[in-house]
Amino acid sequence: MSASPPTQPVSSVLAALDLLQITIAGSVLHVRLNRPAKRNALSDPLIQQLHTAFVNLPEGTRAAVISGEGQHFCAGLDLSELVERDIHSGVLHSRMWHAAFDAIQFGSVPVVAALHGAVVGGGLELASACHIRVADTTAYYGLPEGQRGIFVGGGGSARIPRLMGVARMTDLMMTGRVFDAHEGLAVGLSQYVVEEGQATAKALALAARIAQNAPMSNFAVMHALPRIADQSQSEGLFTESLMAAVAESTPEAQSRLRAFLEGRAGKVVKGS
């Protein structure tokens, strides 16, 4: 097994984000939510810092991982900020979350979420904006908005049903039901479940592998797949043809295809 690449310094813009701890090793950026005393509750400054981080990725970043410091991934919206908000500022607040999470989902690199402990409310909305989710066995998922008298506002109503369906999201929001890590895997909230304490290592390993893909292939998966899912079949097939032609015509695709035909590229291997 090859050794992990050494951690390099990040730019001053990223280093100044005090609610995040950001490191880069090779071409993989690791963003840790860093408010463990408040269970990484998503305050306005934390949402703004996530936005800043994902629109200022260091040059050469090819994939990213988001994890949470402390015992939980994320306790969702910082409820202490919600108490006295009027309608207009409520809409703007939700739009601020949308901007930050769109910068993750529709940014320039794939993002893997490493989940443990509570992944609740806005924490699940954040996880659902990532492209792949890895949970350890301590992870659990809830949408306590119903109990708090509010609704999702961080994109959850658009993203979470695409992972587990409207009926399951309705159940979690209305009844306060909580899924454990294995239930989360079964319903599609995560793609992997690993032993306690192993989610970040697995997420970093996946991100390192993703980083080896041609950037245009990763871009197509991130940007075309969810849009095609929103389109009619006819429009989706047309979008697919355009995206396929763009990806195939890049020099990197051509050299990778040549490498396979000349026996210089790996085969598809069972169990990898």
Q: What track of x and - describes contact with ligand 1HE for positions 97 through 116 (by CB under 6 A)?
A: x-------------------
Q: How far is the CB of 196 from ligand 1HE (least distance, A)?
A: 16
Single out the catalytic residue among 69, 84, 125, 196: 125
Q: How far is the CB of 133 from ligand 1HE (least distance, A)?
A: 17
Single out the catalytic residue among 84, 145, 196, 262: 145
Which lies closer to ligand 1HE via its Cβ, residue 146 or residue 236?
146
Q: How far is the CB of 168 from ligand 1HE (least distance, A)?
A: 17
Which lies closer to ligand 1HE via its Cβ, residue 1 or residue 37?
37
Using CB under 6 A, which of the segments 17-25, 76-84, 202-210, 238-246 binds ligand 1HE?
Answer: 76-84
Check if 69 is active-site: no
Which lies closer to ligand 1HE via its Cβ, residue 152 or residue 194?
152
Query: Which of residues 26, 68, 107, 122 is near ligand 1HE by CB under 6 A?
Result: 122
The residue behind tokens 């989610």 is: 199
- Where b means 16+ CB within 10 Å and e means fewer, 172-201 reads bbeeeeebebebbbebebbebbbeeebbbb
Q: How far is the CB of 170 from ligand 1HE (least distance, A)?
A: 16
Q: What track of x and - describes contact with ligand 1HE for positions 36 through 75 (by CB under 6 A)?
A: --xx-x-----------------------------xx--x
Check if 145 is active-site: yes
Using CB under 6 A, which of the segments 10-18, 21-29, 35-43, 196-204 binds ligand 1HE?
Answer: 35-43
- Where b means 16+ CB within 10 Å and e means fewer, 133-156 reads bbbbbbbbbbbbbbeeeeebbbbb
Q: In the window 176-235, what residues touch ligand 1HE (CB under 6 A)?
A: none
Q: In the window 136-165, what residues touch ligand 1HE (CB under 6 A)?
A: 144-145, 148, 150, 152-154
Q: Which residues are catalytic?
A: 125, 145
Report the interface residues with ligand 1HE, using CB under 6 A.
38-39, 41, 71-72, 75-80, 97, 118, 120-122, 144-145, 148, 150, 152-154
